[in-house]
Structure 1
């Protein structure tokens, strides 16, 4: 079951590729400095995931003005994420949940991803959005069953404005 509003956000450490190579992103090191928007996406190089993160990259100033750190998380390896970001001009920091432990901790893993299309990969994250406040508490949680649906970014921005 997915985490809900009012829950303490589970801490995690994930790999990201920075300008100088692999780096670690530890959630608890960012708690207290700003609101954090975690965007889980099923897979790199897919249409809806690319649209979502490209649109966010183009509008990142709206989130920066609300004192929000925005990161994307998928189960792809960090080298694939970097290639995806370069190909699609995604400027958000992408975190690799390669072993799906964070997806499981947040309760958002598909048991079987798109079984109707014979994709039976378990552990793929459902498209989800979580806003974590400066105290480390989840203030917004949206988990979508259909990978083709996008989070409600109007509601996300409204919550971030409330927390700013």
Structure 2
């Protein structure tokens, strides 16, 4: 069961691709957060989705919104992928304890050991304003993200 809209987003701290710690609550009062879970770096659908974010970064990230990507990959894999694809937003490693943050958000596939394609928009107060989870192999409609961001930004 994914985290529901209107609930407080569970806080977490994860290392990014440079092994620097990123804490969700550090954005409170400052920025909304678009939290994008994806199964694996270097996989086809994941690359396509995050390249769309990269190519349309101004639609997703600005002075009021921070994009955070999360997968169960190691920071080393994430760094190589970010460099290869030119991602400028943080990619966070939910590697160990394996998928713990994805589990907290209800988007961990226990059978396969990876995060589903879960997307959460968390407002400046830490409240979930948009939530979705797509099955493995099912790409997301990022127009819904843009709509949710427009509503939060007013």
- Structure 2 residue runs of 5 or longer lacking an equivalent are none
Matched position secondary structure for 1:32: coil
How far is 1:61 from its partner?
1.1
Question: Which one of the candidate residues 64, 67, 71 is aligned to 2:64?
Answer: 67
Matched residue, 2:80: 83
Contact 2:17 2:93 in 1 (8 A): no
Q: Structure 1-normalised TM-score?
A: 0.87
**Partners of 2:90 and 2:62 in 1: how far apart?**
17
Are residues 1:105 and 2:94 paired? no
Are residues 1:159 and 2:135 paired? no
1:8-157 map, 5 Å: 8-18=8-18, 22-65=19-62, 67-98=64-95, 99-113=98-112, 122=113, 124-145=114-135, 147-157=136-146
Q: Structure 2-normalised TM-score?
A: 0.92
Write the deviation string for residues 71-91 of structure 1: whole angstroms up to 9, x where unpaired. Answer: 100000001100011122222
Report how many residues are paired. 151
Structure 1 residue ranges, 4+ long, deviating more than 3 angstroms after superposition:
none
- Structure 1 residue runs of 5 or longer lacking an equivalent are 114-121
**Partners of 2:138 and 2:29 in 1: how far apart?**
31
How far is 1:92 from its partner?
2.1
